[in-house]
A and B are shown apart, each in its own frame.
Chain A
Amino acid sequence: MLEKRLINGNEALGYGALYADCRCYFGYPITPQNEVVEFFARELPKVGGVFVQTESEVSSINMLYGAAATGVRAMTSSSSTGFSLMQEGISTLAASELPCVIADVQRGGPGGGNTQTSQMDYMQVTRGGGNGGYHNIVLSPASVQETFELVQLAFCLADKYRHPVIILTDAIIGQMQEGLELHRLDFGPLPDKKSWALTTVGDHDDPGRFIQNAPGILGSYRDYMIRITKKYQEMTEKEVRYQAGHTEDADLIVVSFGSSARSSLWAYHQARKEGLRVGFIRPITLWPFPTQIIRAAAQHTKKFVVVEDNLGQMLRDVQAAVQDKAEVHLVGIAHRHLVTSSGMIFPKTVLQEVKRLI
């Protein structure tokens, strides 16, 4: 019998990491992800793990860099504005090809913004907010259970590709409580035995290992670029994940991720009950983006509605996929129920828009 809990999404992040055998966490408090920091402060010492409350997000990401370089599973988390501070470090992790997991529990932006929910970090996580044009795999859960599972997947993908992986949740997913079934996911054996990890010369036979954060300064920059280009291609071919419903016979398809997908999912089910031919696509990997399924659907569906709590960021990826074959509409931040930062996009608002457009 599996262990069941009623907990919030932030704590599910913590459980996911523990079940993935992550024993190192470095983090700095920032609303709305404090429960993650507090979870690790409480739980990691019990299992002999390492928890460090850092002095800043810049330190968090650099401690993560150090830990990942030794080949252990490690993670950090932050929220939007703190995540912006990590951009140089994430870019460096991508340059050094180090496996690690970074969670971003989104809040309002830009900059300091506010402490309430939003989904405004899509661009900064999918387009490489740091320099150098790297790409991280971005996983976007829409429930507490999925948060738990995707964190485990994130550690597997990070090790598989030797690359940072980002979990993108938001204040709603992080703060809401749902039932969680704790179980360990088995992704099979990993190809990389971490023969690159810095475990001291006494521990291996190499003359000395070196983690290179400036691929252009020593060695062949071209070799590095060819290698990561292949890596990105492989990720794009193999790692696209999405949830889809009724995309074959739909007059209108709702595309949405994270907490907005929860609102949209209700609207989609409700619309179907009322006999409207509505489809639903929820990208689970935001990078690589499920372009193909949307492009295929655009051959016969003439209307798309993108629901996201921002000014329209994923909208662009959907438009790029649709290639002018269908109309693409946005239900965004202007559709929030309140003008203050506590505003949200309600399921009934999505349903209304769907009915209006259909």
Chain B
Amino acid sequence: MGKKLLITGNEAVGYGAIYAGCRNYFGYPITPQNEVVEFFARELPKIGGNFVQTESELTSINMLYGAVATGVRAMTSSSSTGFSLMQECIAHMAYCSLPAVIVDVQRGGPGAGSTQTAQMDYAQVTKGGGNGDYYPLVLAPFSVQEIFELIQRAFYLADKYHHPVIVLSDAILGQMMENLELYSINFGPLPAKDWAATGQGERKYRNTVPNIWTFFNNYRDIIVNLGKKYQEITDNEVRFKTYEIEDAEMVIVAYGSSARISLETLRRLRPEGYKVGLIRPITLWPFPTKIIRETSHRVRNFLVVEDSLGQLVEDVEFAVEGRAGVHLLGSLARHLPTSSGMIFPKTVSEEVKNILCHK
């Protein structure tokens, strides 16, 4: 049995990385993810790792680019507005097929927005906020324990597909304290990183990142191969969890902290006899389109709960194809008009009852 701790989600990010063998972190302080930067500043030197506090998010992501080009496991983290600054290099890492892990602890937007919680970065992380045809894998945990586990999985997936992986957390998950059991997860063997630029040493040929031969001569194939990789990821890596959807008359779709709130709603409504279920996407890209599409053949209504003005709802509508009603409970349903507002289980319950009784 692993060691147990009572810690915040942001520190669980740090533990996850260390348990995945990551020894390199580059980051810039931004609320609400400062605990991540502070964790690595404290813990990495103890185990011979490298921590650099950078001068900007631009430099964070580019240091990460340099580090992963040498084949090591490395990561960075930021929050919404800082994450926007990283878009160019995330796109570039996808182009160069580099394995990297980036954590986005979401806050309010657009722009500087607020320092409080929100889920407004869904579109920028899943639809490729930077230029070009790329889709990073996006993992969305909903508890401290799951943050820890998904960070380990993120490093594995990044190495497996040579592709950037984003872990999308938010201020609630990052700041709340829960029990965490520490253990390392074994995902099996990975291919060797014989492409890494580590200095030529005894190798016969030198390595360049990206490989300049294909870079100059074979652009179409680079992109078409990226397309094949996306297809493979879509076929193999979709992850989601369903809760009581078998007999449900309506289904809630939510991720991250909103999924916690929705799950609580389920626990309150089921004993009252409301037939409501929950689908929780764990990978936001690739999106669990299939399960929602299947479910849409037998339920009449979906309720998307997300703390934004409607981004996940677009993917749900895409999956449902007009067969069922798709409703949104978004940021306008927060309990306060200030940035400290949150969507409460009570509000979700009312909306569920409203839909079940009237629509």
The answer on direct contact between A and B (beta carbons under 8 Å) is yes
**Residues of A in contact with B (beta carbons under 8 Å apart):** 58, 80-85, 87-88, 91-96, 106, 108-114, 116, 118, 120-121, 123-124, 127-134, 213-217, 220-223, 225-226, 228-229, 232, 310-313, 316, 319-320, 323-324, 333-334, 336, 338-341, 343
When the two chains form their complex, are residues B131 and A132 in contact, meaning their CB atoms are under 8 A apart?
no
Partner of B318, one of A109, A120, A316: A316
Known: A93-B111, A216-B115. 14 other contacts (CB 8 A): A81-B130, A111-B92, A113-B132, A114-B219, A116-B219, A130-B124, A131-B80, A131-B81, A131-B83, A134-B109, A217-B113, A217-B114, A217-B339, A336-B220
A121 CB → nearest B CB, Å: 5
Please give me the residue from chain B that is nearest to A91 by CB atom.
Answer: B110
B120 CB → nearest A CB, Å: 5
Check if B199 is an interface residue, CB within 8 A of chain A: no
When the two chains form their complex, are residues A133 and B123 in contact, meaning their CB atoms are under 8 A apart?
yes
Rank and list the top 6 A-B pairs by shortest CB-CB distance, nearest first.
Answer: A109-B132, A132-B109, A111-B92, A216-B114, A110-B132, A132-B110
A225 CB → nearest B CB, Å: 5
**Residues of B in contact with A (beta carbons under 8 Å apart):** 58, 80-85, 87-89, 91-96, 106, 108-116, 120-124, 127-134, 216-221, 223-224, 226-227, 230, 308-311, 314, 317-318, 321-322, 331-332, 334, 336-339, 341
Please give me the residue from chain A that is nearest to B96 by CB atom.
Answer: A111
Please, which residues of chain B bring their CB within 8 A of the CB of A93? 111
Please, which residues of chain B bring their CB within 8 A of the CB of A92? 81, 110-112
Partner of A333, one of B82, B129, B224: B224
When the two chains form their complex, are residues A222 and B111 in contact, meaning their CB atoms are under 8 A apart?
no
Please, which residues of chain B bring their CB within 8 A of the CB of A341? 219
Q: A111-B92, A131-B83, A133-B110 are in contact. Are A310 and B124 (CB under 8 A)?
A: no
B261 CB → nearest A CB, Å: 18
When the two chains form their complex, are residues B112 and A217 in contact, meaning their CB atoms are under 8 A apart?
yes
Please, which residues of chain A bring their CB within 8 A of the CB of B331? 222, 225
Partner of A109, one of B89, B108, B133, B220: B133
Subset of 21 A-B contacts with CB under 8 Å: A80-B132, A82-B88, A87-B84, A88-B111, A92-B110, A110-B92, A112-B95, A128-B129, A130-B110, A131-B83, A133-B110, A133-B308, A214-B111, A214-B113, A217-B113, A221-B339, A222-B332, A310-B223, A311-B133, A323-B321, A340-B220
B61 CB → nearest A CB, Å: 11
Please, which residues of chain B bring their CB within 8 A of the CB of A340? 216-220
When the two chains form their complex, are residues A94 and B110 in contact, meaning their CB atoms are under 8 A apart?
yes
When the two chains form their complex, are residues A94 and B339 in contact, meaning their CB atoms are under 8 A apart?
no
When the two chains form their complex, are residues A213 and B111 in contact, meaning their CB atoms are under 8 A apart?
yes
When the two chains form their complex, are residues B112 and A95 in contact, meaning their CB atoms are under 8 A apart?
yes
When the two chains form their complex, are residues B218 and A111 in contact, meaning their CB atoms are under 8 A apart?
no
Q: How many Å lie between the Cα of A92 and that of B111 in the bound state? A: 4
Please, which residues of chain A bring their CB within 8 A of the CB of B131? 80-81, 83-84, 106, 109-111, 113, 120-121, 124, 129
Q: How many Å lie between the Cα of A287 and that of B62 in the bound state? A: 31
When the two chains form their complex, are residues A313 and B133 in contact, meaning their CB atoms are under 8 A apart?
yes
When the two chains form their complex, are residues A130 and B129 in contact, meaning their CB atoms are under 8 A apart?
yes
Please, which residues of chain B bring their CB within 8 A of the CB of A343? 219-220
Q: How many Å lie between the Cα of A113 and that of B92 in the bound state? A: 8
Q: A316-B318, A334-B224 are in contact. Are A220 and B132 (CB under 8 A)?
A: no
Q: How many Å lie between the Cα of A81 and that of B58 in the bound state? A: 13
When the two chains form their complex, are residues B88 and A91 in contact, meaning their CB atoms are under 8 A apart?
no
Please, which residues of chain A bring their CB within 8 A of the CB of B124? 87, 127-131, 133
Please, which residues of chain A bring their CB within 8 A of the CB of B336? 222
Partner of B81, one of A88, A114, A121, A129: A88
When the two chains form their complex, are residues B92 and A112 in contact, meaning their CB atoms are under 8 A apart?
yes
Q: A111-B89, A111-B132, A339-B219 are in contact. Are A221 and B84 (CB under 8 A)?
A: no
When the two chains form their complex, are residues B114 and A129 in contact, meaning their CB atoms are under 8 A apart?
no
Q: How many Å lie between the Cα of A131 and that of B123 in the bound state? A: 8
Please, which residues of chain A bring their CB within 8 A of the CB of B130? 81, 84, 87, 109-111, 124, 129
Q: A124-B130, A133-B110 are in contact. Are A110 and B339 (CB under 8 A)?
A: no
Q: How many Å lie between the Cα of A221 and that of B118 in the bound state? A: 12
Q: A214-B111, A311-B227 are in contact. Are A222 and B337 (CB under 8 A)?
A: yes
Please, which residues of chain B bring their CB within 8 A of the CB of A82? 88
Please give me the residue from chain B that is nearest to A337 by CB atom.
Answer: B220
Please give me the residue from chain B that is nearest to A110 by CB atom.
Answer: B132
Please, which residues of chain B bring their CB within 8 A of the CB of A112? 92, 95
When the two chains form their complex, are residues A110 and B133 in contact, meaning their CB atoms are under 8 A apart?
yes
When the two chains form their complex, are residues A223 and B95 in contact, meaning their CB atoms are under 8 A apart?
no
B268 CB → nearest A CB, Å: 25
When the two chains form their complex, are residues A133 and B134 in contact, meaning their CB atoms are under 8 A apart?
no
When the two chains form their complex, are residues B221 and A339 in contact, meaning their CB atoms are under 8 A apart?
yes
Q: A83-B131, A88-B81 are in contact. Are A134 and B94 (CB under 8 A)?
A: no
When the two chains form their complex, are residues A311 and B223 in contact, meaning their CB atoms are under 8 A apart?
yes
User: Which of A106, A123, A127, A223 has the most chain B CB atoms inside 10 A of its CB?
Assistant: A123
When the two chains form their complex, are residues A132 and B218 in contact, meaning their CB atoms are under 8 A apart?
no
Partner of A81, one of B91, B94, B96, B112: B91
When the two chains form their complex, are residues B109 and A87 in contact, meaning their CB atoms are under 8 A apart?
no
When the two chains form their complex, are residues B95 and A113 in contact, meaning their CB atoms are under 8 A apart?
yes
User: Which of A112, A121, A132 has the most chain B CB atoms inside 10 A of its CB?
Assistant: A132
When the two chains form their complex, are residues A128 and B110 in contact, meaning their CB atoms are under 8 A apart?
yes
Please give me the residue from chain A that is nearest to B114 by CB atom.
Answer: A216
When the two chains form their complex, are residues A87 and B332 in contact, meaning their CB atoms are under 8 A apart?
no
When the two chains form their complex, are residues A334 and B134 in contact, meaning their CB atoms are under 8 A apart?
no
Q: How many Å lie between the Cα of A110 and that of B322 in the bound state? A: 33
When the two chains form their complex, are residues A334 and B91 in contact, meaning their CB atoms are under 8 A apart?
no
Q: How many Å lie between the Cα of A124 and that of B260 in the bound state? A: 30
B351 CB → nearest A CB, Å: 17
Please, which residues of chain A bring their CB within 8 A of the CB of B120? 131-133
